[in-house]
A and B are shown apart, each in its own frame.
Chain A
Amino acid sequence: MSLVDSGPPSDVHSLVTVQLRDVTRELTVVNIGTILGVAHLIPETERRWLVNSRINLRTFNGICWDHRGGLYNKINSGSDVAWMWATLLPDGAVASRSQLGDKRV
């Protein structure tokens, strides 16, 4: 994967965006010693992802990820990204599900 615009965090959600390389070798061999850990990517489009470096997975799965599609579609719809991350991230505070529900209305 390659960085979008050389890797600056977005002004909107402060996350880095990565995308599949357009012209790419089929694979690259690396030493396993260079693998630092498992990464969590949030799909933005089919070829682009946000790199989650802010929310732990328990919070993400409990609040952001709605398998029925509602809130997750909101995140993906673009204009709601700023609202979503602003709601979840200021100073590490996390809104509860009910608070999110109220704001969505």
Chain B
Amino acid sequence: MPGGEERILRRRISSVQSTKKITRAMELIAATRVVKAQQRAHAARPYATRMTSVIEDLAAAGAATEHALLRQSDEIRKVGYVIITSDRGLAGPYNSSVIRAAEREIMAGTREGRDYSLILVGRKGRDYFKFRNYRIDASFEGMSDTPRYDDARRLSTEVSGRFTSGDVDQVILVYMEFISLGSQRVAVRRFLPLATIEEIAALGGGSAEARAAFEFEPSPAGVLEVLLPRYVESRLFSALLDAAASEHANRQRAMKAATDNAEELIVKLTRMMNRARQDAITTEIMEIVGGAEALRNAG
């Protein structure tokens, strides 16, 4: 007959065991998701590369650099922050580190007398800023796990709209950059106004001399007009894809740690349980021996 303490420990062990099964499953799911997210990010790269290449062509042709998305403000009064977090938790420090970096940035801006405008992706970020009574101008959900291009487009419409209408003078993008499976870091980037097209072209690395003289239809400016909004979309899309890969990598790591901890806990609890059982047995033997001793003395 197991003692009270032993029974309690047995129950705890089985509870930890089922938790471990869950975290283990989540770890495995996250692991496959990271791979998928990485593949998607990889598949999306040719489009971005081509886009940059067309911008190089335009720069070489000396296209007019007058465009609403390139507008540099002399004075920055209001900054838009696009903050990419996840919808679901259990991803270790993923959300908190992005949110912390973003909040620090907002604070720094406010100290310099700049107003802020929040455009949030992911439920976690929304919850955080809502709880702290920040003014949220737009929030998006359901796109952080597996972002589609349509999601990037919706986000882009919101962001570009605020910028081109003059509501905000600058847009800063905060998300977690995916460097490798083992390393992700929070990136805080100026997103809008875009760098001048010459600067974007320089990113592509192609030298201007190698570029032939292009014909443009309808005209260099006309192409630029159509191209820049798509360039913004594609940049946001790649940030979303990066963030998704980072989210899954972080979740995998967090769940691996949880599984390891559960294993450790099970070993410890099992040891405690065994000791408790042994104690109970020893006590029982002592009682029997004591009882027998007393009977013999009596007889």
A, B co-complexed:
no
